[in-house]
Chain A
Amino acid sequence: MTTVVFMLAAGCASDEANRYYGPFKYSARPVNSVEILSAAPPRPYVVLADFQSRGESPRDMQRKAAAIGADAVVVVTVGGYRAKSDAWAGEDSQHQSYSRILGTAILYKEAEGADAAAGKGTDAKEPARPGTLLPGTPRKEPSR
């Protein structure tokens, strides 16, 4: 019974809080075409959105990223249990547990010289590919 309750709790998203940064809206893309990454890629990219929630999986982050047209989503799990038997700061026997999952949706940029090649993320005001302005967004050119 306890197991069933835990399974139900794990399968329900809660405290879902997402942020979208760009004035441009991109069309959705197939879920499986969105890469799931565990760290920032070496390729230049722009950050399109941040997702966070409880009780979801990397696959859920991938689905959300696909819905907003992202090329990839960088998934990080945070929090969770901490075994009191772990004595070292760098030791975390409960690292598989997590209280919250984070996803950062990104768009890859075309190579634009040395700065871009450094792999630095920029904000989504500089679109990586053509998008449409979100309703209510002031019509202006990207500042950079």
Chain B
Amino acid sequence: MRRTLLRGSVGAPALLWISVLVAWLGACATVDVTKTAKGIFPPTDPNDVEILTTFPRDRPFEEIATISTTKWKPSESAKMHNALRAKAAPLGANAVVLANSGISGGNLWSTGAAIRFTTKK
């Protein structure tokens, strides 16, 4: 009886915390950025970061980072693009060029390169 009470009193808060943690993790995707360029670039406005599927031919650019994201639902591709914009901007990216995308375990993922234009458009 005593053991049951103890298990009940400790188990309930633990289950609650686990539920909160699982819910929080489900509400978040992840983005990983690896810098490949040298030096410091001023941050850009995330609203202006372009999402491309090919490298631009009409504007000179330099690659500044590789970027990847996962844990999106397949229906959340637009939100995924905004996540890439938000996470590439602090590094000074003007665009993210998507190289590969796919669905794994029900999760949408994407990888690409963050680039910075070296001249104004």
- A residues with a Cβ closer than 8 A to B are 2, 19, 21, 39-40, 47, 50, 52, 74, 76-92, 94, 99-100, 102, 104, 106, 121, 123
Which A residues are CB-close (under 8 A) to B112?
none
> Given that A21-B38, A89-B86, A94-B28 are contacting pairs, would A78 and B33 also be in contact in the complex, using a CB cutoff of 8 Å?
yes
> Given that A79-B87, A82-B28, A82-B29 are contacting pairs, would A88 and B39 also be in contact in the complex, using a CB cutoff of 8 Å?
no
Shortest Cβ gap from A129 to chain B (Å): 19
**CB under 8 Å from chain A, chain B span 37-74:** 38-40, 42-43, 45-47, 49, 65, 67, 69, 72
Bound-state Cα–Cα, A102 to B47, Å: 23
- Beyond contacts A2-B21, A83-B28: 16 other A-B pairs, Cβ-Cβ < 8 A, are A40-B40, A47-B38, A76-B90, A78-B35, A81-B30, A81-B31, A82-B87, A84-B27, A84-B29, A86-B79, A87-B79, A89-B46, A89-B82, A94-B28, A100-B32, A102-B91
Bound-state Cα–Cα, A29 to B28, Å: 41
Which B residues are CB-close (under 8 A) to A123?
38
Q: How large is the interface on B (under 10, 10 to 19, 20 to 34, 35 or more residues)?
A: 20 to 34
- B residues with a Cβ closer than 8 A to A are 17-18, 21, 27-35, 38-40, 42-43, 45-47, 49, 65, 67, 69, 72, 76, 79, 82-83, 85-87, 90-91
Bound-state Cα–Cα, A121 to B38, Å: 11
Bound-state Cα–Cα, A46 to B17, Å: 49
> Given that A40-B40, A74-B40, A89-B85 are contacting pairs, would A99 and B69 also be in contact in the complex, using a CB cutoff of 8 Å?
no
Which B residues are CB-close (under 8 A) to A79?
30-33, 67, 87
